[in-house]
Structure 1
């Protein structure tokens, strides 16, 4: 089949309720007066990756399970308004949702509603095969029932990426994704020895590229058995929220991969996209465009070469 899509994003559609708090951790109190208020908007990990890829000019398609509820309507509207094709399967337990507590310095704590998952849920395999046949690459979010799509995507011959987020390097659920993807993103947050975990993923799994993001400390890239560090980029505006920064990093990195760039340059793409995301309010869903990203990457290369 003719490839009509650059990236198929599988999973991670949902809704967040954003609550601004005076600090994290939040001290116990009977009540707090919240400003600038509490807002509910569509946008979880898969949505943010899809939005980021789309803003960068990549043909993007999103597949996930969504409920017949208000939250599902918000997800549908987000994709419709941005012009991102969405293939949905019915989720009887409802659309995924979470509450994000956001501190003044941009840090966040996410509380996910575990009742909105369905361990018995399945994507229609015929639909997955049809979408896989029309795409170059698949980015698989670690939500249910996405693990079941991995063998189907592999059989279709598409390359696969995944983001393990704050994996501790041990949990078996995340390991399923870690060992079946060609490109693995994860955060250093819960890792006692990031390099050891990265090499373990590459050594036991299929990954040819493993990237560990470390917030303001930049990111680490394992490729061809060599570990390299990429410093963080300076955000183009004040940092207001870290929510979605990892998803933006993955989007930028994948633009580089699909454009044939060396992984080290892909890391610069990701770094710039992630820094931009930190300047977007938690209630927003804006993403950096291709022209701005490439211009900033070129500036960074000059700065660091002169450096």
Structure 2
């Protein structure tokens, strides 16, 4: 784009649109896989060319991609990127009201997670307990992982003895 926000014009001539995967979950999954971690990603995608693009991009590096098909099609965004790198995102959710991942079919075999609510807060708690960056990150990860194993947001935070044993 010549600049953002775009000044009014009836038409802008731009280079061809390039389809890429851009979902945050996919980016994190690919980054973790590149670091050698075992990764499972679960999502709703359409039975459409964009859904195939996602499957084809996640499978070769070894991401265990489990998905359910949504009749509405794969969610999309159009990113308008200015010459300075700033962007404006036009999000096309394609949501079906009330649609959810089927619980047991996709992610319960892959994950032993009770509830992810509170994992970020728990991570921060463990992180702040550490004294060096490496220890902060490790303790944060341990505390966040613990939070995922119990239902609720803050019902059973990890105790110091368990944090330091891990």
Separation (CA, whole Å) in 1 of partners of 2:5 and 2:128: 36
- The equivalent of 1:223 in structure 2 is 128
| 2:81–2:88 CA contact under 8 A, matched in 1 | yes
Shift in Å at residue 42 of structure 1? Answer: 2.3
| 1:64–1:89 CA contact under 8 A, matched in 2 | yes
When the two chains are superposed, the root-mean-square deviation of aligned CA atoms in Å is 2.6
Q: How does 1:159-238 map to 2 (within 5 A)?
A: 160=116, 180-183=117-120, 207-210=121-124, 223=128
Matched, 1:22 2:2: yes
TM (norm. structure 1) is 0.40
Matched, 1:120 2:57: no
| 1:223–1:263 CA contact under 8 A, matched in 2 | no
- The equivalent of 1:4 in structure 2 is none
Separation (CA, whole Å) in 2 of partners of 1:26 and 1:94: 29
Matched, 1:106 2:43: no
| 1:208–1:223 CA contact under 8 A, matched in 2 | no
Separation (CA, whole Å) in 2 of partners of 1:107 and 1:223: 32
Shift in Å at residue 53 of structure 1? Answer: 1.0
| Structure 2 residue matching 1:262: 3-state secondary structure | helix
Q: How many residues align?
A: 134
TM (norm. structure 2) is 0.70
| Structure 2 residue matching 1:109: 3-state secondary structure | strand
Higher strand share: 1
For structure 2, list consecutive stretches of 5 or more residues without a partner in the other structure. 141-166
Structure of larger gyration radius = 2
Separation (CA, whole Å) in 2 of partners of 1:55 and 1:261: 22
For structure 1, list consecutive stretches of 5 or more residues without a partner in the other structure. 1-20, 134-152, 161-179, 184-206, 211-221, 225-255, 267-307
